[in-house]
């Protein structure tokens, strides 16, 4: 997909990756950009930064609510007539292991997994009717590998990739393209005040750097969007010798355990 003249929806658009994606899509000549987030002031700020380049709609949206995402899609279609690309980008991090509270598990599950499901339910009918559409779901390299220090983040990001795979398999021959964004450390509010921990070993990207990879991957219609190309090598090592990979991950755990304990 070439972004020029397309209508794009971005959740988590008030800051970080979502903000940078919104700005880049406008710079690429999108016909319309819908910026969605639970942060009202943040989406207004993003809108003000990009509305000179394209038509922008700012919608307050709690992605953990299916009704809110339905409303987001409805408002977007009412304004622009259709949606070409839906970027289900919003996500959170929760440190800890199996002992994390049930409420915290539910919260991260709703935001990191169910939001993608809610988005697909809401936007796919109109895309399938048109015979074309694109879903870009933000996961993480943690969804392909793992996340030292956070069972909830690792589990939900794996689930997000699993759902994106299913969408591609099920709807790929009906005009629906699917990509999944899987960065390591990116300088956002999620990584503020630190070096990204394990995910920062290959360097921390600025959000604007990440958007270059996104634009290239969308143009090529690639499923995996890997701003840190090293992740592909790590995936291959994991599948080539799972036990050896787990041993290496245990060593990483030992190295960073103290850091993540402080976050719990």
Residue position matching structure tokens 């009717």: 129
Of the candidates 177, 258, 180, the one whose C-alpha atom is nearest the C-alpha of residue 221 is 177
Of the candidates 118, 106, 164, 171, the one whose C-alpha atom is nearest the C-alpha of residue 140 is 164
Give the DSSP H/E element, type plus range, for residue 137: strand 133-138
- Active-site residue, from 134, 153, 171, 234: 153
Q: Which residues contact 9 (CB under 8 A, 6 or more apart)?
A: 33, 34, 36, 72, 73, 76, 83, 85, 86, 87, 123
Q: Are 10 and 34 in contact (CB under 8 A)?
A: yes
- Taking residue 42's Cβ as centre, other Cβ atoms within 10 Å add up to 20
Indicate if the alpha-carbon torsion angle 23, 24, 29, 33 is positive or negative: negative
Q: Which residues contact 154 (CB under 8 A, 6 or more apart)?
A: 142, 143, 146, 147
Does 153 qualify as catalytic in the annotation? yes
Supply the residues annotated as catalytic.
153
């Amino acid at each position: 997909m070439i972004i020029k003249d397309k209508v794009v929806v971005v959740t988590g658009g008030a800051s970080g990756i979502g903000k940078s994606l919104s700005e880049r899509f406008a710079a690429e000549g999108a016909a319309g950009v819908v910026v969605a987030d639970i942060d009202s002031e943040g989406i207004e700020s993003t809108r003000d930064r990009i509305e000179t380049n394209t038509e922008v709609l700012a919608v307050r949206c709690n992605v953990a609510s299916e009704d809110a995402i339905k409303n987001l899609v409805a408002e977007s279609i009412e304004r622009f007539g259709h949606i070409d690309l839906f970027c289900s980008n919003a996500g959170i991090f929760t440190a800890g292991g199996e002992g994390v509270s049930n409420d915290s598990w539910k919260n991260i599950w709703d935001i990191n997994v169910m939001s993608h499901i809610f988005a697909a339910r809401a936007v796919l009918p109109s895309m399938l009717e048109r015979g074309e559409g694109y879903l870009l779901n933000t996961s993480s390299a943690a969804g392909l590998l793992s996340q030292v220090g956070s069972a909830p983040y690792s589990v939900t990001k794996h689930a997000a990739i699993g759902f994106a795979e299913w969408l591609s398999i099920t709807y790929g021959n009906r005009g629906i393209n699917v990509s999944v964004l899987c960065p390591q450390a990116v300088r956002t509010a999620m990584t503020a005040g630190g070096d990204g921990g394990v995910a920062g070993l290959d360097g921390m990207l600025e959000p604007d750097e990440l958007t270059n990879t996104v634009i290239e991957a969308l143009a090529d219609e690639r499923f995996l969007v890997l701003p840190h190309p090293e992740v592909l090598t790590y995936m291959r090592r994991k599948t080539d010798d799972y036990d050896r990979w787990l041993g290496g991950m245990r060593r990483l755990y030992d190295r960073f355990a103290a850091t993540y304990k402080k976050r719990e």
